[in-house]
Amino acid sequence: MLRESKKKVGKSNGPAVALQVGQNVRRLRQERGVNLSDLAASAGISLPMLSRLEKGDVTPSLETLVALAEALGTNASTLLKDEVAQQSDAQLVPKGEGLEVVQRGTRRGHTYHLLASDRGPKRVFEPYLVTLTDKSEVFPEFDHPGVEFIHVLEGSLRYRHGPESYLLKPGDSLTFRGDVPHGPDKLLKLPVRMLSIIIYGGGEAD
């Protein structure tokens, strides 16, 4: 099991999650003997951005997080982990303390809070609390391995999956293949809050 590095890094101007991700990226990069420029090229991001990310000055988008994880041979959950979360057989995430992940193309009104850090070398699931608050936001489409389950807690929206669009209200659930483009289509009643759980078959996805 990977452990958090004890090596000190420079003081961060960003939020706690940014510092945590930056420390994990730097630790894994150094463990693998990869320099900054090579990792930046592999992940498809600029060298200055990677440098700022490792210092904890910026919070990466979910897409950047996934790209870095793939380049480092791990998963996004690992980059969000801290040592404390890995020392117990149970995880408690108090209200409002899930790690916030920024989605590319959603500068406002669209937040994902990761509610648990999956353990082990293979990810099995990733649970998020999603909050949508800006009706004018243009939402990108997403695709990823595995199956996704969403359950609406508050508000209402139309959610697209491939060519189909589904009306979802509080209490409604939708399960679908993650490798088909999907995402919010139209927000009908704000705010929208929903659980999103991505399930990876048998922990086979890296």
What pLDDT score does 4 carry? 29
Q: CA 28, CA 77: separation in Å to the nearest integer?
A: 13
Is the model's pLDDT at 15 over the cut of 80? no
Q: Quick one: pLDDT at residue 117? A: 67
CATH no. of 95-203 = 2.60.120.10
| C-alpha to C-alpha distance for 180 and 203, rounded to whole angstroms | 20
Q: Which pLDDT value is given to residue 13?
A: 41
Q: What are the tens digits of pLDDT across the range 54-86?
A: 998 988 877 788 889 889 988 777 787 764 445
Domain boundaries, the chain: 16-84, 95-203
Report, as an integer, the average pLDDT of 28-33.
Answer: 92
| Model confidence pLDDT, tens digit, residues 132-171 | 887 656 677 888 889 999 999 999 999 999 999 999 999 9
Give just the sign of the alpha carbon dihedral 130, 144, 204, 23.
Answer: negative
Q: Tell me, what's the pLDDT at 84?
A: 43
Give the span between the Cα atoms of 75 and 61, in whole angstroms: 14
Residue 162: C-alpha distances to residues 102, 118, 130 (Å): 23, 28, 20
What average pLDDT does this structure show over 81-110?
59
pLDDT category at 119 given cuts 50, 70, 90 is low
Determine the pLDDT at residue 104: 46
* Higher per-residue confidence, 165 vs 105: 165
Percent above pLDDT 90 for the chain = 45
- Whether a cis peptide bond, with omega within 30° of 0, leads into 191 is yes
Residue 188: the pLDDT is 94
Distance CA 67, CA 71 (A): 6
Candidates 3.20.20.70, 3.40.225.10, 1.10.260.40, 3.30.565.10; CATH matching 16-84: 1.10.260.40
Compute the distance between CA of residue 187 and CA of residue 206 in angstroms, rounded to an integer.
33
